[in-house]
Amino acid sequence: MLAEDSFQSLGGKARAESLSAKEKTDIARKAAKARWSLPKAICGAPDRPLRIGNCEIPCYVLEDETRVLVQSGMIKALGMSHGGTYSKGGDRLAKFTHQGRLKPFMDSEILERTDDPLKFQLYNGSVAYGYDATLLAKICFAVLDAAKEPNLLQKQQTHIVKQAEILVRGFAIVGITALVDEATGYQEVRDRHALRKILERYITDEWAKWTRRFPTEFYRQLFRLKNVPFPPNEGTRKPSYVGHWTNDIVYSRLAPGILKKLKELVPRNPSGSRSRKFHQHLTEDIGVPELQQHISNLIFLMKGCKGWDEFKERLELASPKFGDTMRLPMPI
């Protein structure tokens, strides 16, 4: 018997082999149903964490508007390790809040929530664990209250007290800024300023001389997925609907507001066509490199798909449109 083949795993394998095809299908169906019944994240991304002090905590907003901090990020923010006696993140945080020295400072809500973390579904279908975002602040306040008691906490918990203080200070700074923005109405102006800065980085009012930005392979794969005969040579003028496809999978996914701004800069003439290419208004330092990288990613993705529907499903997961509601991942 190999070392990694525990009695539990061998028992599981034996049980799986004894199941009929129908039983296996029923088990898989029940598992899928349980997964799809989970609350789903509608906002947030791994590369957009909540940054407070020296901490970065992955965060999401669920479809019921619950603000969630990912379990592992909360544990790390508090200065705890995942290893040691507690092998699971949820167990680690629950053990911490329930320990004898701290438990008197933890209210029932903290104890209940750390015992039962939220289970939710990310855009790619994977399952994550987290807690209501307000729980982190409550734990920090409880830790700081406990630290006021002489000789109550152990020396190895000193760094957790320091982390709690950093987080609380960060909450105060972020909180007052958000409150002022809401009271003055600046939160709407702030969003417009952010969009303007993005557009300035990607788009220029000047336009460059015509240069081929879309390789032939891009159109070859595009026509293949659409099941449309590819033009006989590169000089053939492409049908107008190709522009709609390109706007859909390219310009609407580069950055927020890009497609709308480009349409303003290059309006249609009386004949219905445009006098210049959209990419001629992209900045050479940001816009053009981002476009070329996106096109390369599209070609790679298209080559691995058999049809347009499969490609669009994967594209919505890999590079959703800016400003659109995230499509939920469905089996291809």
- Asked if the model's pLDDT at residue 286 lies above 70, the reply is yes
Do residues 204 and 106 share a domain?
no
Instruction: Grade residue 202 by pLDDT with cuts at 50, 70 and 90.
Output: confident
Do residues 278 and 144 share a domain?
no
Do residues 145 and 209 share a domain?
no
* Integer Cα distance of 123 and 162 in angstroms: 35
Do residues 151 and 243 share a domain?
no
Instruction: Grade residue 131 by pLDDT with cuts at 50, 70 and 90.
Output: very high
Do residues 135 and 229 share a domain?
no
pLDDT at 327: 47
Which residues form the domain of 92?
A: 42-184
* Integer Cα distance of 57 and 166 in angstroms: 14
Do residues 180 and 65 share a domain?
yes
pLDDT digit string, tens, across residues 37-91: 788 888 888 888 888 877 889 998 888 888 899 999 999 999 887 654 333 445 7
pLDDT digit string, tens, across residues 155-173: 878 889 999 998 998 888 7
Instruction: Grade residue 1 by pLDDT with cuts at 50, 70 and 90.
Output: very low
- 325 belongs to a structural domain: no
- 111 belongs to a structural domain: yes
- Which among 327, 308, 309, 325 is positioned nearest to 317, based on CA atoms? 327
Do residues 168 and 212 share a domain?
no
CA 23 to chain centre: 35
Mean pLDDT over the full length of the chain: 80
pLDDT at 331: 47
- 27 belongs to a structural domain: no
The mean pLDDT value for 248-268 works out to 89
CA 137 to chain centre: 23
The residue ranking higher by pLDDT, 181 or 215, is 215
Among 153, 184, 215, where does a domain finish? 184
- 5 belongs to a structural domain: no
- Asked if the model's pLDDT at residue 134 lies above 70, the reply is yes
Number of domains in the chain: 2
Do residues 101 and 208 share a domain?
no
Do residues 225 and 110 share a domain?
no
pLDDT at 152: 86
Residue type, 315: L
Report helix, strand or coil for 213: coil
Phi, psi angle pair for 95, to nearest 5°: -60, -40
* Integer Cα distance of 119 and 83 in angstroms: 21
The mean pLDDT value for 224-228 works out to 92
- Asked if the model's pLDDT at residue 266 lies above 70, the reply is yes
- 113 belongs to a structural domain: yes
* Integer Cα distance of 191 and 322 in angstroms: 14
Contacting residues for 105 by C-beta, under 8 A, at least 6 apart: 142, 143, 145, 146
* Integer Cα distance of 64 and 111 in angstroms: 23
- 203 belongs to a structural domain: yes
- 308 belongs to a structural domain: yes
Quick one: DSSP state of residue 254?
A: T
Instruction: Grade residue 210 by pLDDT with cuts at 50, 70 and 90.
Output: low
Ordered alpha helix ranges (H), 78-226: 89-98, 108-115, 134-147, 158-184, 186-202, 216-225
The mean pLDDT value for 126-144 works out to 92
| Helix (DSSP H) and strand (DSSP E) numbers for the chain | 13, 7
Instruction: Grade residue 14 by pLDDT with cuts at 50, 70 and 90.
Output: low
Phi, psi angle pair for 181, to nearest 5°: -60, -40
- Asked if the model's pLDDT at residue 18 lies above 60, the reply is yes
Do residues 167 and 289 share a domain?
no
**Bridge partners of residue 80, in order along the sequence:** none
pTM for the predicted model, two decimal places:
0.50
Do residues 179 and 214 share a domain?
no
Give the DSSP letter string of 37-96. Answer: TS-BEEE--TTS-EEETTEEE-EEEETT--EEEEHHHHHHHTT--S-TT--SHHHHHHHH
Among 155, 184, 213, where does a domain finish? 184
The residue ranking higher by pLDDT, 191 or 229, is 229
Among 135, 156, 184, where does a domain finish? 184
- 324 belongs to a structural domain: no
The residue ranking higher by pLDDT, 58 or 19, is 58
Do residues 213 and 132 share a domain?
no
pLDDT at 201: 77
Per cent of the chain over pLDDT 90 is 27
